[in-house]
Amino acid sequence: MIRARYLPFVATVLIFVVAYALCALQFPNMLSFRVLGNLLTDNAFLGIAAVGMTFVILSGGIDLSMGSVIAFTSVFVAVLVRAGVHPALAFALALAVSTSFGALMGLTIHALKMPAFVVTLAGMFLARGAAFLISTDSVPISHDFLKQLKGIYIQLPDKGKLSFLAILMLLAFAVGVILAHRTRFGANVYALGGSEQSAELMGVPLRKTMIQLYAFSGFMAGLAGLAYTLYTSAGYSLATVGVELDAIAAVVVGGTLLTGGSGLVLGTLFGVLIQGLIQTYIVFDGTLSSWWTKIVIGMLLFAFIVLQRLILLVSERRAAIRASSGG
Amino acid sequence: MTKLKQLRPQLLALAVVLVLIGLISPGFFSVTVQNGRLYGSLIDVGVRVAPVALLAIGMTLVIATKGIDLSVGAVMAITGAVAATLVADGHSVPVVLAVSLALGLVCGIWNGVLVAFLDIQPIIATLILMVAGRGIAQLITGGVILTFNDPAFSFIGSGAVLGIPMPILIWLAMGLAVGLLVRRSALGLLIEAVGINRRASMLVGVRARFLILATYAISGLCAAMAGMIVTADIHGADANNAGLWLELDAILAVVIGGTSLAGGRFSITASLIGALIIQALNTGILMSGWPPEFNLIVKAVVIVAILTLQSPAVADELSVLRGMLRRKGAKS
Amino acid sequence: MTHDALLSAQGIDKSFFGVKVLDGVDFSLRGGEIHALLGENGAGKSTLVKILTGAYRRDAGAMWLDGQEVEPRSVAEAQALGIGTVYQEVNLLDNLTVAENLYLGRQPRRMGMIDRRRMRGDAATLLARYGVGADPDETLAHYPVAVRQIIAIARAVDLSGKVLFLDEPTASLDAREVQALFTVLRQLRAQGLGIVIITHFLDQVYQIADRVTVLRNGRMVGSRAIAELPRRDLVAMMLGRELAEATAHRGSGATQPDTPAAFLFEGYGKRGSIAPFDLDIRPGEVVGIAGLLGSGRTETARLMFGIDRPDSGQAAVDGQPVTLHSPQDAIGHGFGMCPEERKTDGIVGDLSVRQNIVLALQASRGWARPIPRREADALAERYIKALDIRPPDPNRPIKFLSGGNQQKAILARWLATDPRLLILDEPTRGIDIGAHAEIINLIEKLREDGMALVVISSEIEELVAFSTRVIVLSDRHHVRELRGAEITAEAIVEAMAVPGDAA
Amino acid sequence: ADLTVGFSQIGSESGWRAAETTVTQQQAKERGIDLKFADAQQKQENQIKAVRGFIAQGVDAILIAPVVATGWDEVLGEAKEAEIPVILLDRQIDAPDDLYLTAVTSDQVFEGKVAGEWLVKDVGDKACKVVELQGTTGSSPAINRKKGFEEAIAGKSNITIARSQTGDFTRTKGKEVMESFIKAENGGKDICAVYAHNDDMAVGAIQAIKEAGLKPGTDIKVVSIDAVPDIFLAMQAGEANATVELTPNMAGPAFDVLEKFKADGTLPPKWIQTESKLFTQADDPKGVYESKKDLGY
Ligand SMILES: Nc1ncnc2c1ncn2[C@@H]1O[C@H](COP(=O)(O)OP(=O)(O)OP(=O)(O)O)[C@@H](O)[C@H]1O
Ligand SMILES: Nc1ncnc2c1ncn2[C@@H]1O[C@H](COP(=O)(O)OP(=O)(O)OP(=O)(O)O)[C@@H](O)[C@H]1O
Ligand SMILES: [Mg+2]
Ligand SMILES: [Mg+2]
């Protein structure tokens, strides 16, 4: 029997599989390794950001600065590379900056006892503003090192590719899963999400965990920024506006509770894939106007959420009945 | 309503922001009468704050129940689009008002049902309408800016009564009305109770679901008003941009006003002051003449500064400090 | 003061909002002793514990561990020093599994990774010591307070190398579990641990403690060996006055009134929760409900109050069939209920004491008819006085009150609605002996005034004292009903042991 | 012909954009082209996803209205590999030009220049303080139209840009920013002209000028870019002075070259520049309005 806390995850996976099957029935082309590969590559940066977001949400917090940090990182790297810095060094610097920025937000949240929503909202303005200051223009980059990176991929059948970005995202999820479920840091994050006060009284080092947590989320945002830079070979200060909302939606669709303390990192992967699937479906359909696109995305999101709740409700009922007839 | 003393940090922050702007652009405080209405940057702040102020009123109640309403910007776009369509079709102002407000109410109730009855988490529940709502608004306008020429409706946005611009009157009136509604009835207390401890509240017979639904409904209503003001202001409905990202400003206003995002105690007055602080900042930046690349940085820095000074941690330290000073003063 | 004790503290001061809660308190604990910390509700016991264990900062004073001056700034630091604590409100995490709760922050690791298998195994072994068969992999939310309490104790005991603080650990345990706990404590004492226990049960103090320290109004009254302190003197130390022992075993003089049953439940039950039962309650009687932990007492109350929906049976009030599908329904028929889990189901923490007291009344009047401020003030004043809620400040947020005083405020909340049927789930849990007597007197008085009461309690003596009838539950069945002279502690205990299906 | 063409549109952020979409759909319908439309909601990543989706579906050609100039090499490479011709609409990109068939665009710098030159001619030698309403910070039209305008007034010391702020391409912000400009510049008396990066902001600015008790078009000249129908109403009323047209019909020329290319492999030039025509009050604003008002602006 499936434990109650895994139910949201199972529901998400189930919904994804069924939805994919339905799409494939309508557009047989969608059932190809090419589309599957695209699904992973195209959503790689979102997925990486969503790993960080999952941790933050598990702790009961939120990180609204992600979209801006991604844009900032991409501009930062692009400008450095344009100035002649080796990309590897630029990447390392960018990750150092985004990680420290996250750590600083974590420290602020803890030390000033301010809600994460507000601190990271300010962080969102700040990072975007900083990106503008570096360059308002979009800055293209090209460097052999980047080409080499992009040259890494695993060939799938029928012209499908598991690209470097896709591999990077899957790695990020693997790290996320291990961190969440097999380390003390992960356990502390779940504890914070249960109740900050109780966690403190049980000896969880609040300050340290908070700083580590937002540093991790900053790191993931930075890594997502690098993925985005690779993806577009450019840095652009107006890029990825509102990506944090996509990431939050992916986390929640993946079965994590926004109130914190409950959810699985792997669920987020399926949350991301479900969003990608919705978009792919809309492209394949190709008849929706701009507004119908928005409306349909909203409706599908609604359908997924309601379906998820229904599956949960039904299985909880079942469990209750089974328990009573068993006992 | 709320005691002045409790509003001290917000009023102080507003004063500091205003003084800073005054230093940068000296003409900021001059208010004159022109064409029979008040005129000046300060008045602009009062007018331009109207949408965020209205949103903040509803948002305060929603946040007090531990919720959040991300859809208000999209609801503004929807009601604006509908209002513009109706006005362009020649309907009378009362009809336009009634239909638009009803629509806002319906949007709010939709959110409320998702949150209160389907138990969907507020951010996600309202994200649905945030995404789809703008699409609906564009569907109504066909993606274009629907313009109209109807002085009666435009009056809402740019008219004045006794020299005071309408938007100012509207947000003040709405703030007063909702403030009185929640504080003169028991709604305020019950909303706070639900926000602090929903389970305990339900156990004493508080109808938590109904209350939550009501707060989202009020939020929808406020968004409808904001949408109409914006539409009347530019004599047209811009479904693409009306209210875009305004939900974040409204949330920020509520937080600057000291209402906790964890729900519970709230003050509408304080949220309105929070909205004024944000708008004063926006207007101040425009007056400053700095290049627009700096806008976000300036805004972020000032907001962080304000919130830092207001934060419970710093407030504690300050009160300890104040106590020490007082003790020292008493000794010497 | 000698610092050769295991743990000692001197001149501890603490104020909240300018009100002194601890005033120059000295405290010392020896290795290998069980030390009871006693005092009335709000005396400052929990605050002292929180200061000594790093959860609060003290305003003044110093503390020594093993003769070394120490300064734990967080619970984590205190734990590192070998100090384990169970705080008064069971502070565990509902969203984590039992094993994760037990080993949070000290999980067994292999190659840097948490060794989940070993953690699970260790957890099972640990819990077996306390006779709890909880599944280590199940989330804690599945278990009632009592089980959580034991898990919290097990955790604290396991991580305390030198000192163990237990703040009212036995409040929600039944006799059997209390004995299991005491056995463990004696073993730990033998190993040289210093143990501080806070409790309002004086019987338990005499059973287990070696020494007592008494606090009153934030000051230390004295510290004595238990052997040389008669019960009467101890009570006087705590209260600052003599107490006529109100809770003596006397049996309720009152018998079942022969008024017709006003509240009737027939075949009322819910699958998986409580087997169908019949219950009739008359105005002017107290129906006591007894049973072991998990026997279904709380479930009975939840069902009667409309929190859970029944799937069989019907209810009637004054002979008219009624549906009780929500607390509002029940309240509409004149019911009231004080829940057992005060922190999550009872108090509305950020609201003031006054607002907490008027909340139920306000809810039943509806939002459109606010209770005028004057009326609210009057109500608050009346009940603060009647129940001796301390501090008597109606404007203080209730979360800043001590546990016992919160309990009184919640009781006041229902009394303010003037209910016809009042259901009390563990009303005396965490209440000091002075207040305990007051609450029992109150229950008697309410009964005499014609109120119908259903009282759930784990304290059998107390049930004997005020009940006109006692229903005994076992395994989610109502197994026995005792009336009049049948109500004795022995009879109740005997009936509790009967397996449920025997009914 | 039975061509299937994928069209990746940026979004629907303005009336002009909506018109472009409408015109493209009309053009496709007239030519019997099956148009697959994908709206990117202002996000480049969505555009890339859409292009990949088109490739996976095996369309015959792809139109892209790129949201930003950079970042197209890889996905266009994939299109090339799949032998699907790509045509860019309304914006150039930073990529080797063998990756696309052609680009049908205006010259944004030139647009700004046309607006600037009009102003230079109109004010002659009089001193003129201009205020500028920029587009969204960081967007390429904002950057280029600013640049072109500055080039045009570069040699003229009598024309200065006194203030420049972003109005986010919207009416509301255009109005708000103009209000503050007026207050900051002596009640508007010091301002001689307003240059707006698009007509929507200009319309907002006109309202602000009117509400400040000044006459737009006379007291403060108004010049802007796009030529959407509403600006012609303002021109007719004498409230706007000049606008530079950005035609929404980019798809027409694109389909022309595509059909030729498909028929006999004719390679078009790499850049098909659309006209940036200047309209002033003398150009029969009413007539232009009538001709434009049903184009889906
Ligand atoms: N965080 C706090 N803020 C303000 N006042 C507090 C706080 N914690 C405790 N108090 C006050 O300090 C006093 C002592 O409380 P404490 O919890 O230590 O009492 P106690 O002896 O443990 O009582 P009980 O037996 O009821 O648990 C009470 O008056 C209480 O209201
Ligand atoms: N020692 C225990 N070990 C495991 N589960 C227990 C234990 N005691 C109770 N439970 C569980 O507790 C639940 C019922 O608890 P509940 O609180 O309703 O009972 P109760 O009779 O009201 O006891 P109390 O109010 O004293 O906690 C059941 O799910 C039962 O399995
Ligand atoms: Mg206590
Ligand atoms: Mg119970």
Here the ipTM equals 0.89
Long-range contacts of C53-57 (CB under 8 A, 24+ apart): C53/C78, C53/C83, C53/C85, C53/C165, C54/C78, C54/C83, C55/A200, C55/A201, C55/C85, C55/C87, C56/C14
Q: What is the pLDDT of residues C164-179, one digit of tens each?
A: 999 999 887 888 888 8
Does the C-beta of C46 come closer than 6 Å to ligand 1?
yes
Sign for the pseudo-dihedral over CA of A95, A96, A101, A103: positive
- The CATH number assigned to the domain with range C245-334+420-503 reads 3.40.50.300
Which pLDDT score is estimated for B67?
A: 95
Give the one of C327, C351, C367 whose C-beta lies nearest to B202's C-beta: C327
Tell whether the model's pLDDT for residue B161 goes beyond 60. Answer: yes
Higher pLDDT, B226 or C177: B226
Mean pLDDT estimate for chain D: 93
Percentage of chain B modeled with pLDDT above 90? 70
Contact call for residues A114 and A105 (beta carbons, < 8 A):
no
Which pLDDT score is estimated for A325?
A: 47
Q: What is the pLDDT of residues C184-231, one digit of tens each?
A: 899 999 999 999 999 999 999 999 999 999 999 999 999 999 999 998
Contact call for residues B248 and B277 (beta carbons, < 8 A):
no
Say which residues have a Cβ less than 8 Å from residue C390's Cβ, sequence separation at least 6: C41, C42, C401, C402, C405
Which pLDDT score is estimated for C394?
A: 95
Q: What is the pLDDT of residues C236-276, one digit of tens each?
A: 898 887 665 544 444 455 666 677 888 999 999 998 889 99
Tell whether the model's pLDDT for residue B316 goes beyond 90. Answer: no
Q: Could you tell me if residue A297 is inside a domain?
A: yes
Beta bridge partners of C436: none
Q: Which of residues 30-59 of B touch C (CB under 8 A)?
A: none
Contact B143 D213 (CB under 8 A): no
A-chain CB neighbours of C75 within 8 Å are 200-203
Architecture of the CATH domain C7-95+139-229? 3-Layer(aba) Sandwich (3.40)
Contact B311 A113 (CB under 8 A): yes
Nearest to C195 by CA among C157, C238, C147, C154: C157
Q: How far apart are CA D92 and CA D97, in angstroms?
A: 10
| C169 CA → ligand 3 middle, Å | 11
B-chain CB neighbours of D185 within 8 Å are none
Does the C-beta of C205 come closer than 6 Å to ligand 1?
no
Which pLDDT score is estimated for C19?
A: 85
Nearest CA to ligand 1 atom 2: C400
Ligand in closest contact with the CA of C406? 1
Q: Which domain, by its residues, includes A315? A: 4-319
| C243 CA → ligand 4 middle, Å | 30
Number of domains making up chain A: 1
Per-residue pLDDT of chain D (297 residues; tens, 9 = 90+): 579 999 999 988 888 998 999 999 999 999 999 999 999 988 999 999 999 999 999 999 999 999 998 889 989 999 999 999 999 999 889 889 899 999 999 999 999 999 999 999 999 999 999 999 999 988 889 999 999 999 999 989 999 999 999 999 999 999 999 999 999 998 899 999 999 999 999 999 999 999 899 999 999 999 999 999 999 999 999 999 999 999 999 999 999 999 999 999 999 999 999 999 999 999 999 999 999 888 878
Q: Could you tell me if residue A49 is inside a domain?
A: yes
In angstroms, the separation between the Cα of residue A244 and the nearest Cα of chain D is 13
Residue found under tokens 């590999």? D81
From the CA of C425, give the closest atom in ligand 2: 25
Low-confidence ranges of chain A (pLDDT < 70): 1-2, 319-327
SS3 for C201?
coil
Taking the Cβ of residue B144 and every Cβ of chain D, the question of whether any pair is shorter than 8 Å is answered with: yes
What ranges make up the beta strands (E) of B96-231? 145-147, 160-161, 164-165
In angstroms, the separation between the Cα of residue A163 and the nearest Cα of chain B is 30
CA dihedral B88, B91, B94, B97 (to 10 degrees): -40
Nearest CA to ligand 2 atom 27: C293
Chains C and A touch (3+ CB pairs under 8 A): yes
The residue ranges of every structural domain in chain B are: 35-289
Contact A294 B138 (CB under 8 A): yes
Q: What is the pLDDT of residues B286-298, one digit of tens each?
A: 988 888 888 889 9
Q: How far apart are CA B157 and CA D213, in angstroms?
A: 16
Q: What is the pLDDT of residues C224-236, one digit of tens each?
A: 999 999 988 998 8
Nearest CA to ligand 2 atom 24: C293
Taking the Cβ of residue B202 and every Cβ of chain C, the question of whether any pair is shorter than 8 Å is answered with: yes
Return the CATH number at A238: 1.10.3470
Tell whether the model's pLDDT for residue B331 goes beyond 80. Answer: no
Q: Could you tell me if residue A324 is inside a domain?
A: no
Cα separation of the two ends of chain D: 29
| Peptide bond preceding C283 in cis form (omega within 30 of 0) | no
DSSP C333-362: TTEEEE-S-IIIII--TTSBHHHHHHHHHH
C-chain CB neighbours of B190 within 8 Å are 362-363, 367
Q: What is the pLDDT of residues B4-21, one digit of tens each?
A: 778 888 898 899 999 999
Q: Could you tell me if residue A53 is inside a domain?
A: yes
Mean pLDDT estimate for chain C: 89
**What class, spelled out in words, does domain B35-289 have in CATH?**
mainly alpha
Which pLDDT score is estimated for C249?
A: 43
Mean pLDDT estimate for chain B: 91
Which pLDDT score is estimated for C242?
A: 67
Tell whether the model's pLDDT for residue C404 goes beyond 90. Answer: no
Higher pLDDT, C500 or B114: B114
D-chain CB neighbours of A68 within 8 Å are none
Q: How many CB atoms are located within 10 Å of the residue D215 CB?
A: 12
Cβ pairs bridging A and B (under 8 Å): 126
Which pLDDT score is estimated for C254?
A: 61
DSSP C383-415: HHHHTT-SS--TTSBGGGS-HHHHHHHHHHHHH
Nearest to B222 by CA among B51, B65, B54: B54
Tell whether the model's pLDDT for residue C6 goes beyond 80. Answer: yes
